[in-house]
């Protein structure tokens, strides 16, 4: 592998191989396993992360759960693995989309001797479909550019969040290759710094000019006219277009509304949850307070202090200028979701 090359997730020789994102950008270390519990733990501690990537990883993990299971134990093993993986990250709907696809194949074929191979093939389909969705999102996103732009983005939406080249990040990358991107501002994305660690890592790999700033600096950048548009990803989108994404996204949408700057979301259709009408129904994951109190396992404030630490917030659909999917580019109101 060349120094500039990297991949986030792959299935090789019967094992899931993935880049440990908690070590980035200072070290590129890969993990390889066929143990679903290790994958579940990796999802929980964000070694594996990003809604589409969580879906792909969980699909492989659920398939792998029966790899070495005795016939008499296979149902129990599968159901235990399903419940364990479903409990890892409650907000990202891609997780449940992928798990249920594997579950449906299992239900139809559990009696077959080759059921494990069938589950792996389904996981590979989910994997390859996500790669194609990323490509299409990148192309469809070109429609939001009217001129060469300065872009602000939040959290991480590239290879490290998907199986392909990303969602919002891939729009930035594709636009840069077309000469449509001047500079990218990457929110550091507190408290886990996905912007300063992961998005910066990917921007550097792609040779895209960028700056890191703290989340609270976005307003000043907008006031000074340095931001032409904002684009983020999403972890779950309700039927009315309300979108859950990394904490801090809602604040950006409000700032964009005040400064008359377009705010876009890019996500595959697997991120849409047609079982919920509005964002009020989205379950928000709360993280361990140590993620706020500590940085790299070093305390920066007292452990005795109370902490409020939601991992996500919900942006109302009327604040979203447009949603880009692999199918098309949509503007408010998002009636297409009811089709």
Annotated catalytic residues are: 235
Distance CA 320, CA 80 (A): 39
In a 13 Å sphere around the CA of 302, the CA atoms on its Cβ side amount to: 3
Cβ 247 vs Cβ 314: under 8 Å:
no
Question: Across-strand partners of 311?
Answer: none
Question: Across-strand partners of 231?
Answer: 153, 264
For the chain, give the number of residues: 339
Distance CA 49, CA 241 (A): 23
Cβ-count burial of 326 within 10 angstroms (0-12 exposed, 13-18 middle, 19+ buried)? buried
Cβ 252 vs Cβ 241: under 8 Å:
no
Distance CA 317, CA 250 (A): 10
Helix (H, G, I), strand (E, B) or coil at 284: coil
């Amino acid at each position: 592998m060349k120094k500039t090359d990297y991949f986030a997730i792959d299935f090789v020789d019967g094992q899931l191989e993935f880049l440990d994102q908690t070590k980035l950008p200072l070290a590129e270390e890969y993990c390889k396993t066929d143990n679903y519990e290790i994958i579940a733990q990796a999802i929980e501690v964000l070694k594996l992360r990003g809604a589409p990537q969580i879906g792909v990883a969980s699909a492989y993990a659920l398939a792998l759960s029966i790899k070495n299971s005795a016939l008499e134990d296979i149902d129990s093993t599968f159901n235990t693995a399903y419940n364990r993986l479903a409990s890892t990250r409650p907000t990202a709907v891609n997780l449940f989309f992928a798990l249920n696809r594997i579950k449906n194949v299992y239900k139809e074929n559990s009696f077959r001797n080759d059921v494990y191979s069938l589950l792996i093939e389904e996981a590979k389909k989910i994997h390859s479909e996500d790669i194609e969705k990323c490509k299409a999102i990148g192309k469809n996103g070109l429609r939001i550019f009217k001129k060469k732009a300065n872009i602000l983005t939040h959290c991480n939406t590239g290879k490290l969040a998907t199986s392909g080249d990303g969602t919002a990040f891939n729009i930035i990358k594709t636009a840069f290759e077309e000469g449509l991107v001047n500079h990218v501002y990457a929110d550091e994305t507190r408290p886990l710094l996905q912007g300063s660690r992961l998005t910066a890592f990917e921007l550097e790999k792609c040779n895209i000019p960028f700056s890191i700033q703290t989340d609270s600096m976005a307003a000043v950048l907008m006031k000074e006219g340095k931001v032409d548009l904002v684009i983020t990803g999403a972890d779950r989108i309700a039927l009315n277009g309300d979108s859950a994404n990394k904490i801090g996204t809602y604040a950006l949408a409000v700032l964009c509304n005040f400064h008359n700057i377009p705010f876009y979301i890019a996500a595959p259709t697997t991120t849409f949850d047609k079982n919920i009408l509005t964002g009020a129904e989205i379950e928000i994951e709360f993280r361990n307070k140590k993620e706020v109190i500590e940085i790299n396992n070093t305390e920066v404030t007292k452990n005795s202090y109370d902490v409020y630490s939601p991992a996500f917030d919900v942006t109302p659909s009327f604040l979203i200028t447009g949603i880009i999917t692999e199918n098309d580019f949509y503007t408010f109101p998002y009636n297409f979701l009811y089709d």
